[in-house]
């Protein structure tokens, strides 16, 4: 049907008709809240390149967890800042059952047993080279790294993690981690795979938060080329095949086509990581008065949802949940 019988604006004239014809919605259930944890006491320090986002020590984390729960948010995604003297090339501290990650998981499970705790599984915060794998002669080794990731995942599961979230992009790690979890009896522990993770400049502020920038080179031998999308689908399908319960696309806002591609091709939940740089861009533009922060935040998040994300990891989770509750 064509004009004048078809008039698209009929569905836009009033608030009510716009509400009736709205296709996509955000709720607090959509969000994963990234959390940065550091050693020490009484610490809640703002990350300079991530305004209004903080690193917490375990004692200050409790209030944050209670607020997250009270906002109706269902899941946190934990990252730890590891002291320099505990970093090496083989992830020794990552396997410490009493390490900061493991203590954080136990604490959160004590405070809020119903909150889904997801842990970052990758070597970069523990690596003296700032890389996601064991380094040998400038090369990031795949299979030896996967062995460490297996043990790390079991250690997180033992601490009480509901999901482990491998963010390293080594080949074959989802299968190997699944095998290790089953063997150790953690059959209920899920895997959220960072399946299509790109070598992106938008991780810059995150690397400030954890002091985890690569000491040499870049991450292009394991993270993906931003120019590719067939490759993303290959990575996503192989992770599902290997046993991923949830697959992830990262970053999110600059990769909406990849989110859509994932959604159209898999039957597991698709998550998208609205990363640090994507957060900081909005914050910076808002601070300059160039964008309305709330509107830019909500428009960005609904775009990610509309593209097909079932879950969104975002530093805006609390702000968005507050706004949605109004
Ligand atoms: C590390 C990891 C990174 C992020 C999540 N896990 C950084 C990287 O790969 O260098 C980025 C998250 C963000 O920028 O918000 N394995």
pLDDT for res 215:
92
Q: What is the pTM of this model?
A: 0.97
Strand segments, DSSP code E, in 234-291 are 246-250, 270-274
122 CB under 6 A from ligand 1?
yes
Convert the pLDDT of each residue in 29-82 to its tens digit: 999 999 999 999 999 999 999 999 999 999 999 999 999 999 999 999 999 999
Q: Is 22 left (phi over 0), alpha (psi -120 to 50) or beta?
A: beta
The domains located in the chain, with CATH, are 24-324 (3.20.20.70)
The residues annotated with a catalytic role in the active site are: 197, 250
Convert the pLDDT of each residue in 198-223 to its tens digit: 999 999 999 988 888 999 999 999 99
pLDDT for res 322:
98
Q: What average pLDDT does the structure give for the chain?
A: 97
Provide the 3-class DSSP secondary structure of residue 69: helix
* Ligand 1 centroid from CA 209, angstroms: 10
> Each residue of 47-74: b (16+ CB within 10 Å) or e?
bebbbebbbbbbebbeebbeebbebebb
Task: Name the residue with the closest Cα to ligand 1, atom 5.
Answer: 167
Task: Name the residue with the closest Cα to ligand 1, atom 14.
Answer: 203
pLDDT for res 1:
84
Q: How far apart are CA 252 and CA 309, in angstroms?
A: 9
Q: How far apart are CA 76 and CA 31, in angstroms?
A: 9
* Ligand 1 centroid from CA 17, angstroms: 41
Nearest atom in ligand 1 to 34's CA: 15
Confidence of residue 142 (pLDDT cuts 50, 70, 90): very high
């Amino acid at each position: 049907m064509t004009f004048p019988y078809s008039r698209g604006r009929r569905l836009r004239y009033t608030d009510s008709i716009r509400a009736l014809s709205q296709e996509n919605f955000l709720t607090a259930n959509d969000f994963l809240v990234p959390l940065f944890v550091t050693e020490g006491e009484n610490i809640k320090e703002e990350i300079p390149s991530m305004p209004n986002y903080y690193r917490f020590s375990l004692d200050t984390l409790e209030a944050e967890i209670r607020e997250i729960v009270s906002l109706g948010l269902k899941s946190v995604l934990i990252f730890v800042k590891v002291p320099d003297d505990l970093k090496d090339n083989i992830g020794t501290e990552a396997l410490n059952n009493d390490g900061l990650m493991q203590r954080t998981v136990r604490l959160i499970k004590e405070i809020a047993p119903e909150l889904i705790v997801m842990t970052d599984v990758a070597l970069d915060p523990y690596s003296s080279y700032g890389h996601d794998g064991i380094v040998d002669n400038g090369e990031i080794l795949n299979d030896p790294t996967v062995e460490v990731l297996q043990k790390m995942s079991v250690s997180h599961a033992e601490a009480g993690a509901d999901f482990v979230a491998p963010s390293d992009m080594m080949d074959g790690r989802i299968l190997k981690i699944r095998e290790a979890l089953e063997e150790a009896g953690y059959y209920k522990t899920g895997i959220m795979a960072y399946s299509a993770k790109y070598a992106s400049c938008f991780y810059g502020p995150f690397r400030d938060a954890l002091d985890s920038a690569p000491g040499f080179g870049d991450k292009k031998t394991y993270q993906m080329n931003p120019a590719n999308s067939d490759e993303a689908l290959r990575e996503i399908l192989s992770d599902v095949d290997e046993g991923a319960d949830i697959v992830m696309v990262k970053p999110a806002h600059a990769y909406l086509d990849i989110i859509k591609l994932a959604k159209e091709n898999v039957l597991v939940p698709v998550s998208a990581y609205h990363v640090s740089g994507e957060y900081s861009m909005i914050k910076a533009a808002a601070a300059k008065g160039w964008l309305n922060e709330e509107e830019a935040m909500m428009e960005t998040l609904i775009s990610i949802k509309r593209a097909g994300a079932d879950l969104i990891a975002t530093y805006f989770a609390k702000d968005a949940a507050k706004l949605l509750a109004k």
